[in-house]
Amino acid sequence: MTLFADSISGRKRRKQIFTLVGTLVVAAYILAPIAWVIVSSFQKEVALEERPPHFLPGPEILTLSHYGFIFTGNVPKDATIMIQAMYTMSGTFILPAIINSIIIALFVTLVNVVLGLPAGHAFARYRFYGNRPVFLLLLATRLLPAISIIIPMYILLQQFNLLDTKRALVGIYSAITLPFTIWILKAYFQNIPVEYEEAARMDGCGYFRTLLRVVIPLARPGIIAAAIFAFMTAYDEFVFATVLTHTMTSKTQTVVIAALAQGLSASRGLIAASAVVCLLPPVLLSLLLRKYVVQGLTARFL
């Protein structure tokens, strides 16, 4: 009897240790790359060009000059001419590019909510001819690689004089994200009892009034999840953006940072700081609204 109890508690203890070690390993795996780019972004250029790197930099090699350059365009004064030359033009494009990305992503989110909400509602609530096939067809567009329609897109936008415009990207990203938004919202509506809407209709509310007064308040978490998803997808997109934009009127942060990292002469600290600045908007957004993000990730499938 005691032997039995011992083996159970021994197993429990082993499990606890295993869980602890596992958590530490996973946390290190996930956090180390991010930590390293943050640490690098605060180090002076000369310190970044030393072997081995400074894992725990002391105050004498820390600097804010990389961020200073991104936000003000001032090169660090205490650096050598050689290093000052590494603060390339494209570094000053990071901030405008992020603003471009955010503007595009916000419009995409707006289109998604305004059009996707009634569409998801219609798929969930109405029995109509072609409901299922049309829905599946919409979802199937998700399987299409961006690269496989990039050529016709490039040629078509050229013909319509829409290359290098934010409008074109908003249109494309909306089309990419709408099927997903509709999917998330449809799934969400199906979990809300239809009786609320019927009651509103009974009280004389029209379609739009019911949508505004009853459906939207009830589906708020689903709408937020869908909106975050649309925003992040638009902010993240690279393939279309890199082919369809040429100047800073429409270049997004994905394009600018990829170009910056490829320039052989760019400051390493500047690249690291740019990476940090670029990842902040979606990371902050998903941390603030993490409940909805996780919900949106899993709701579509389960």
Site for another protein in 52-81 (CB under 8 A): 52-53, 55
Binders in 94-133 for another protein, by CB under 8 A: 111, 115-116, 118-119, 121-123, 126-131
Q: How far is the CB of 116 from another protein (least distance, A)?
A: 6
Measured from the CB atom, the residue of 196 and 238 that comes closer to another protein is 238
- Does 182 contact another protein by CB under 8 A? yes
Residues 17-36 that bind another protein (CB under 8 A): 19, 22-23, 26-27, 29-31, 33-34, 36
Cis peptide before 133 (omega within 30 of 0): no
- According to DSSP, the residues that pair with 43 across neighbouring strands are 62
The whole-angstrom separation of Cα 27 and Cα 6 is 31
CB 99 to another protein: min, Å: 15
CB atoms within 10 A of CB 200: 17
Within 8 A by CB and 6+ apart from 4, the residues are none
| 258/112 Cα distance (integer angstroms) | 27
Binding residue for another protein (CB under 8 A) from 145, 195, 204, 247?
Answer: 145
- Binding part of the chain for another protein, among 75-83, 87-95, 152-160, 190-198 by CB under 8 A, reads 152-160
Under the binding rule (CB under 8 A), the answer on residue 206 touching another protein is no
Q: Which of 85, 134, 199, 212 binds another protein (CB under 8 A)?
A: 134
Asked if residue 90 binds another protein (CB under 8 A), the reply is no
Within 230-249, the residues that bind another protein by CB under 8 A are 232, 235-236, 238-239, 242-243
CA distance 270 to 278: 12
**Beta-carbon contacts of residue 208 (< 8 Å; ≥ 6 apart):** none
Site for another protein in 214-233 (CB under 8 A): 232
Q: Are 54 and 234 in contact (CB under 8 A)?
A: no
Least Å distance, CB 262 to another protein, is 7
| Chain residues 263-282 in contact with another protein, contact rule CB under 8 A | 268, 271-272, 274-275, 278-279, 282
Distance CA 227, CA 237 (A): 16
Residue from 176, 184, 223, 226 in contact with another protein (CB under 8 A):
176
- Tally helices (H) and strands (E) across the chain: 17, 0
Residue 62, phi then psi, degrees to nearest 5: -85, 150
- Amino acid symbol at 76: P
